[in-house]
Structure 1
Amino acid sequence: MNLIDLLPTGQRGATPESTYEAFIRWVEDRGIELYPAQDEAAMEIVQGHNVILATPTGSGKSLVAVAAHFHSLARGEVSFYTAPIKALVSEKFFALCETFGAENVGMVTGDSSVNADAPIICCTAEILANIALREGETADVGTVIMDEFHFYSDPQRGWAWQVPLIELPQAQFVLMSATLGDVSRFEDDLTSRTQRETTTVAHTDRPIPLHFNYSEEPVQETVDELIYSSQTPVYIVHFSQLDAIERAQGLLSLNICSREEKDRIAELIAGFRFAPGFGKTLNRLIRAGIGVHHAGMLPKYRRLVEQLAQAGLLKVICGTDTLGVGINVPIRTVLMTALTKFDGSRMRALKAREFHQIAGRAGRAGFDTAGTVVVQAPEYVIENKKALEKAKAKFGDDPKKLRQVTKKKPPQGFVSWSDKTFDKLVQADPEPLSSSFQITHSMILNLLERPGDSFAAARRILTENHEPPARQRALIRRALGILRELIATGVVIRQDEPDEHGNHLNLTVHLQQNFALNQPLSPFALAAIGVLDPDSPSYALDVVSVIESTLDQPRQVLSLQEKKVRGEAIGRMKADGIGYDERMNIVDELTYPKPLEDLLDQSFETYRQGAPWLSEFELAPKSVVRDMYERAMSFSDYVQYYQLARSEGVLLRYLTDAYKALQQSVPHDALREDLQDLIAWLGELVRQIDSSLLDEWEQLARGAAPEDHSEEIVPPEPERLTSNARAFRVMVRNELFRRVVLFADEQEAALGALDGESGFDADAWGAVMDDYFDEHEDIDDGPGGRGQDYFLLTQGTSSWRARQIFKDPAGHRDWGFDAEIDLAASDEAGQPVVRLTRLGRLDD
């Protein structure tokens, strides 16, 4: 039954009683019995009260959110659901579409939106914060449901969770999290601002109770015991992706699944396309009943692990602490390998909030009567205990002999923990949420865009936020500095006569709807593209470099690029006999590639003199898309070249963002044909690897709700690679030109690995190299060498024939190779399948 069909109508209309009764009828029709906390929260909501829902994980907060949306609909108001990450927003969007009907639910993100005028909107906290800044109490916002509200304390994003509380007094708030701590000040603040009663529902009794254990046995033995005692599925929590993968591989020696379960897994994933590299590793692990789950994985791999876990076929999942933020992995036991983590600057002990956020994922409603949380002692403590037990077995209780047992010490800089640390965390309440408010150019500009007295709004935000007085004074000083800067650059003008609202300040620029969220540097990119030379052979790649400089840094990718650059430089300098100290001094200056760095930095410095708010954003020249294209590499080639197997997901998200930015930011008159080819290639590359990120965005960009494939174990295959003839043609050109790049670097072994099966091994390539370089001093492997004049293609129905001509210094064009491209095999592989048919001097 669709909940929308139960909206109260008739003479009674929407009263608290009729709304509550209709909601309960829908719940009962689904065979659900509300927990006391859910029932209490729903009754408070229909009475128009603010609700702070601070109940444990697994206590049904999502159903309370549904009650809030229903109550808002019954009053004819718009409700907003906000969450910290897009993945969680998207998940709730699908769920609410099923509950209320797709026509009644919309989603707004930083780069697209669907059904934005719907009465129920799902968005990230920043979207709602921008609405609150621009529209304040005139905004069409009836109810605000803020999920994972503990992000209020996040140093970078906490402002977005606080602004709506200050600027939307007309709204009814439902704040939800399992780890809020003391919320009395939020009760008082909300009641005062909204003139609504605020109720905290904070039942500490979990519907699924937790049992806590501290283990001094090796992880392998702990897992074996948990499997033997039917405490699966087990999620083993690590604080690095590498540790999670290594642990999973180490568990392959255990008998995790029965033969029948392994056969069922094999049946379900028979049609799943695992890529080389990490995909091959994951395939082997999953077939043994072991999953891996972390943010660096491709989305299709994470989704596969989640679905097999939901089906009860993965007994052990090794992952990271991202488990704590709405990850859809049902588990019975959480096994934590440490009580410390690296927070980006130092190793530190877990906070009570972090511990309970992770531990709270244990116990599956409807499946388990209890959940289990196990924390491992430090490895050196476990090894010392084993050594002592071994000595006792040999020497008994002889104190002299036992004192001689060599004990391992903790590693240098290690932050240790003990059973006492564990007990303290178990008993501790989450720390009180602390304010992380800030003021930025973007916030000031959004306030100035607001109709009405924007100065009064700014004063309110600066003096009524939750920061202590000294911090508020610092924020006021910063805001005044920002305002002076905006006036000095002409972005804001001061008028002698106030407008009808009493404003003396007027904004002279028009801000985009999602200003500071949707590619804030896009206007700069547009201006920078205008200074490029459209007749340059490198124009298309230069446009890519401009766009890449405006994207967020894919830290793991850039780190490994830098490592590669430095490693190759050290190798060359050793060969040249350069001494160690000099080598190290030179290497310290080397970093990852940054094409057009000087031009971009100079252009950005000039541009932001008229747009001072851009000082909040960092221009970041880098080369990932360009690097992949110049090296003529496929996704898997690139992953292998830079050893990115643990960060495939990071790379894919970056490539997806680059494709979106190229589609959105490059004006039509700048789209030269080779640039259009490059964009088509990039889009198809992403789609063939994992279409989910791109397909959803493209559907949203068209204003359509994306299809929900969440129940499919094997995701739908992307369209045939060869059906996108333009992109496939570029891929074929890249595949052939990759051989030119390797030829220029005299990499005959790599070329032999590519074409050995076609009869052209390393020796064959080496012989051609010798002959070519006897005749010519060089070969052009730059933009000129990959031009249309050096690539000849004949398209057939089942295969294509291609010729790649080497661009030699003399312009003879008489060396190169011919190849045949198998179309059916290319569709199956998701990348061109090339077979060389001729290599060397071209006589015709």
Structure 2
Amino acid sequence: GTDTLGVGVNVPIRTVLFTALTKYDGTRVRTLRAREFHQIAGRAGRAGFDTAGYVVAQAPEHVIENEKALAKAGDDPKKRRKVVRKKAPEGFVAWSDTTFEKLIAADPEPLTSRFKVTNIMLLSVIARPGDAFKAMRHLLEDNHEPRKAQLRHIRRAIAIYRSLLDGGVVEKLDTPDAEGRTIRLTVDLQQDFALNQPLSTFALASFDLLDPESPSYALDMVSVVESTLDDPRQILAAQQNKERGIAVGAMKADGIEYEERMERLQDVTYPKPLEELLLHAYDVYSKSHPWVRDHPVSPKSIIRDMYERAMTFTEFTSFYELARTEGIVLRYLAGAFKALDHTIPDDLKSEDLQDLIAWLGELVRQVDSSLLDEWEQLANPEVETAEQAQEKADQVKPVTANARAFRVLVRNAMFRRVELAALDHVNVLGELDGDAGWNADAWGDAMDGYWDEYDDLGTGPDARGPKLLQIEEDAAHGLWRVRQTFADPNGDHGWGISAEVDLAASDEEGRAVIRVTSVGELGAL
């Protein structure tokens, strides 16, 4: 049985209560589809045990408030006319008892196959013992897909296979190996290598276009991988708004008229590192691998932007006003970490790139360790009790336990101060270090001496490199002493920031806790 919309419905046993008849599907808020509604409603009762179940749909909140107000007014027509009815929130997708009845009567939408041949599917089949061609033929033809769809899947499998062969990811064997394979994965890929993105093979081919000796090599590798990931539209929109705000300020300072400003703003978008290189490479690659046209390359800079700005997760979401979409940011960071770690072959991971990947993994772990722990559990399954699983879920590894990642966190925290000093943002620096006695005035006075001597403060790849950061570990006192040297235009390297890193406080807060001790001409640590 079903109950129509109403207020104060008595909910019996074996009842499903819908608090809304709409849902957010990742793109927009929409009314439930009939299949979704029936699938949820079907939980009201157990087949073979219950002869009936109850499904109740709750009215929208503003409708309930209006009904309460009208009930309070009673039957007096004058009082009822004076009731100020609450309006639906802006952008609200409404539902009513009519919506409820339509969903009850509607036939579920027909199921549509989502089967799709992917890189990882083909690689998984090739990695198995036996004849991969025979296994794929069985997979693609022994199913309920229409013949037209089967042929489409077969053509796509052939195209992907050819791209893997051309990219050197798989190789043909003249004779079957001991396990009956006639094709196999190339042997120089690490054990956990995974081409789990549609454009992973494109990324693999594009890595050869980068110069391993370039100071920006690690960040350029990140940009290649980011260009193959799905676009997180909310983050990119926030970055574009920030860029346009900066552009408007600059144009106003230059005296550019409103109409021209608006016209120029159309060309301002979010950061797209290596855009020209990647688009050209994609165009060339797609000519011999036409299947990638279904997945356009999309240059963007989220991981790179966060790393170059030396921001923490909280600073990044605050800077771009993404507090309401932190979950989307976190999921993107976690997915990017997995792609970087598993898509880039080990022999292409420079020291700087390994540091960056370790930093990203630790950043995600400190925000929500369950995302990475779940992947690790899938990769390394082990039998554990429910209590052990819960204990593991409740524990977060100390941030200092991963020495490589923690060094990057310290380096980023120090370089964040360099970037702010270069922009003369002494007020922000004062907020960071006020508790250590370095308020805005103290920072301003210290930097005045630097600006009297130099006209510029470098913030490029060389300026943020490990060569300009010295770390002395003092385990006896539970701290690190660090010194970040400024990249001055003369190459004197005589100025910088000295600080102490509190290890215990860092573990407690899940970040590098820095206490600045001096800013100026540097002496010994």
- Would you say same fold, with TM above 0.5? yes
Q: Is the 8 A contact 2:34 2:109 kept in 1?
A: no
**Matches for 1:203-242 after TM superposition, within 5 Å:** 212=3, 214-215=5-6
Whether the 8 Å contact between 1:378 and 1:416 is mirrored in structure 2 is no
CA distance in structure 2 between the partners assigned to 1:721 and 1:537 by the alignment: 27
3-state SS, counterpart of residue 838 of structure 1: strand
- Corresponding residue for 1:350? 32
For 2:459, the equivalent position in structure 1 comes to 781
Cα distance, 1:430 vs. partner? 4.6
State how far apart, in whole Å, the 2-side matches of 1:511 and 1:428 are. Answer: 53
Report if aligned partners of 1:437, 1:465 keep a CA contact under 8 Å in 2. Answer: no
* Helix, strand or coil at the partner of 2:314: helix
Q: Who is 2:170 aligned against?
A: none
SS of the equivalent of 1:715 reads helix
What pairs with 1:478-493 in structure 2 (closer than 5 Å)?
none
Aligned residues of 2:468 and 2:485 also touching (Cα < 8 A): yes
CA gap of 1:565–1:760, structure 2 versus 1, over 3 A, is same
Q: CA deviation at 1:736?
A: 0.6
Provide closer, same or farther for how the CA distance between residues 349 and 671 of structure 1 changes in structure 2, counting only shifts above 3 A.
closer
Q: Shift of the alpha carbon at 1:375?
A: 1.6
Could you tell me which residue of structure 1 aligns to residue 304 of structure 2?
A: 626
Task: Name the amino acid aligned to 1:605.
Answer: D
Q: Deviations over 1:178-228 (max 9, x none)?
A: xxxxxxxxxxxxxxxxxxxxxxxxxxxxxxxx7635236xxxxx7xxx9xx
Measured against aligned partners, the alpha-carbon deviations of 1:241-280 in whole angstroms (never above 9, x if no partner) come to xxxxxxxxxxxxxxxxxxxxxxxxxxxxxxxxxxxxxxxx
What displacement does 1:800 show? 0.8
Deviation at 1:628, TM superposition (A): 1.4
1:828 and 2:508 correspond: yes
Residue 131 (structure 2) pairs with residue 451 (structure 1): no
- The answer on whether the counterparts of 2:496 and 2:519 sit within 8 Å (CA) in structure 1 is yes
1:557 aligns with 2:235: yes
Alpha-carbon spacing, 1:373–1:560, altered in 2? closer, same or farther (3 Å): farther
Question: Percentage identity across aligned positions?
Answer: 48
1:684 match: 362
Moved more, 444-453 or 644-653: 444-453
Mapped to 1, the partners of 2:405 and 2:118 lie a distance apart of: 41
Partner of 2:174: none
- In 1: Cα distance, 2:366 partner to 2:89 partner: 44
What amino acid sits opposite 1:663 in the alignment? Answer: D
Name the residue aligned to 1:579. Answer: 257
Change (3 A) 1:569 1:334: farther
Matching residue within 493, 496, 500 for 1:813: 493
Number of the residue aligned with 2:178 = none
Instruction: Report the Cα offset of residue 540 of structure 1.
Output: 1.1
Alignment match of 1:838 (pick from 504, 512, 518)? 518
Cα distance change on mapping 1:433 and 1:722 into 2, 3 Å = same
Q: Distance in 2 between matches of 1:486 and 1:828?
A: 48
CA contact (8 A) 2:503 2:513 kept: yes
CA distance, structure 2, for counterparts of residue 723 and residue 409 of structure 1: 53
- Following TM superposition, by how much is the alpha carbon of 1:357 offset from its aligned partner in structure 2, in angstroms? 3.5
Q: Judge conservation of contact 1:486–1:612 (CA < 8 Å) in 2.
A: no
The TM-score normalised by the length of structure 1 is: 0.51
Q: How does 1:368-379 map to 2 (within 5 A)?
A: 373-377=56-60, 379=62
What is the match of residue 431 of structure 1?
108
Structure 1 residues 675-714: aligned runs within 5 Å: 675-702=353-380, 704=382, 712=390
Post-superposition offset of 1:817: 1.4
SS in 1 for 2:239: helix
- What is the RMSD computed on CA atoms of the aligned residues? 4.4
Aligned-partner residue type, residue 317 of structure 2: V
- Take 2:164 and 2:358, find their aligned partners in 1: how far apart are those partners? 40
Separation in structure 2 between the aligned mates of residue 551 and residue 777 of structure 1, nearest angstrom: 40
Paired residues of 1:335 and 1:375 also in contact (CA < 8 A)? yes
Q: State the shift of 1:346 in Å.
A: 6.9
| Paired amino acid for 1:353 | R
Q: Using the TM superposition, give the Cα deviation of residue 556 of structure 1 relative to its aligned residue in structure 2, in angstroms.
A: 3.0
The 1:524/1:709 distance shift into structure 2, 3 A limit, reads farther
Report whether the alignment pairs 1:596 with 2:278: no
Aligned mates of 2:241, 2:416 — CA distance in 1? 22
Q: Kindly tell me: are residues 782 and 214 of structure 1, through their superposed partners in 2, closer, same or farther at Cα, counting changes over 3 Å? A: same
| Secondary structure at the counterpart of residue 832 of structure 1 | coil
**Could you tell me how far apart the structure 2 residues matched to 1:534 and 1:459 are?**
45
Match of 1:163 in 2: none
Q: CA contact under 8 A between 2:117 and 2:157: conserved in structure 1? A: no
**Where does residue 643 of structure 1 map in the other structure?**
321
Contact 2:23 2:29 in 1 (8 A): yes
2 CA distance for matches of 1:690 and 1:696?
11
What residue number does 1:57 align with? none
**Aligned equivalents of 1:490 and 1:363: distance in 2?**
50
| Change beyond 3 A, Cα 1:477–1:514 | farther
Q: Secondary structure at the match of 2:209?
A: coil
2:420 is the counterpart of 1:738: no
Residues 8-39 of structure 1: CA deviation (Å, up to 9, x unaligned): xxxxxxxxxxxxxxxxxxxxxxxxxxxxxxxx
Cα separation, 2, equivalents of 1:677 and 1:695: 20
Aligned-residue offset at 1:837? 0.8
Q: Matched residues in 2 for 1:716 and 1:489: separation?
A: 44
CA 1:490–1:658 in structure 2 vs 1: closer, same or farther (change >3 Å)?
Answer: closer
Matched, 1:793 2:471: yes
- In 1, are the aligned partners of 2:163 and 2:201 still within 8 Å (CA)? no
Q: State how far apart, in whole Å, the 2-side matches of 1:810 and 1:748 are.
A: 23
CA contact (8 A) 2:194 2:343 kept: no
Report if the CA contact (8 A) 1:740-1:781 is conserved: yes
Determine the structure 2 residue equivalent to 1:535: 213
Cα distance in structure 1, aligned partners of 2:93 and 2:164:
52
Kindly indicate whether the alpha-carbon contact (under 8 Å) linking 1:820 and 1:835 is maintained by their aligned counterparts in 2: yes
* Alpha-carbon separation, structure 2, partners of 1:675 and 1:444: 28
Q: Deviations over 1:308-344 (max 9, x none)?
A: xxxxxxxxxxxxxxxxxxxxxxx9763524x345667
Aligned-residue offset at 1:436: 4.1
Once residues 829 and 371 of structure 1 are traced to their aligned partners in structure 2, the CA distance between those partners, rounded to angstroms, is 48
Label 1:660 to 1:749 Cα distance change in 2 as closer, same or farther (>3 A): same
Displacement after TM superposition at 1:590 (Å): 2.5
> Matched residues in 1 for 2:28 and 2:408: separation?
45
State the one-letter code of the partner of 2:105: A
| Amino acid paired to 1:590 | V
Amino acid in structure 1 at the alignment position of 2:495: W
**CA, structure 1 residues 509+362, in 2 after alignment: closer, same or farther (shift >3 Å)?**
same
Q: Are residues 755 and 360 of structure 1, via their aligned partners in 2, closer, same or farther at CA, if it must alter by over 3 Å?
A: farther
- Summarize deviations over 1:325-382 as a string: whole Å, max 9, x none: xxxxxx9763524x3456677765432222233445678999xx98763421473x55
Structure 1 pair 341–518 and aligned structure 2 pair: CA distance change class (3 A): closer
Q: Which amino acid aligns with 1:450?
A: F
CA separation in 1, counterparts of 2:268 and 2:487?
30
**Partners of 1:404 and 1:333 in 2: how far apart?**
36
Contact 2:4/2:97 (<8 A) preserved: no
Q: How many pairs does the alignment contain?
A: 494
Pair 1:705–1:622, CA change in 2 (3 A): farther
Query: Secondary structure of the residue that 2:5 maps to in structure 1?
Result: strand
Do the aligned residues in 2 keep the contact of 1:681 with 1:730 (CA within 8 Å)? yes
Please report how far the alpha carbon of residue 478 of structure 1 lies from its aligned counterpart in structure 2 after TM superposition: 5.8
- State the alpha-carbon separation in 2 of the partners of residues 835 and 531 from structure 1: 41
Contact preservation (8 Å) 1:489, 1:612? no
| Shift in alpha-carbon separation, 1:602–1:688, aligned structure 2, 3 A | same
Distance 1:794 1:582, change over 3 A: same
Q: Which amino acid aligns with 2:481?
A: R
- Counterpart position of 1:721: 399
Q: Measure how far apart 1:677 and its partner are.
A: 1.6
**Contact 2:474/2:480, CA 8 A, preserved across alignment:** yes
Per-residue CA distance 1:485-543 (angstroms, 9 max, x = gap):
89999979xxxxxxxxxxxxxxx986799999723433322222222111111111111
Contact residue 35 and residue 109 of structure 2 kept, 8 A = no
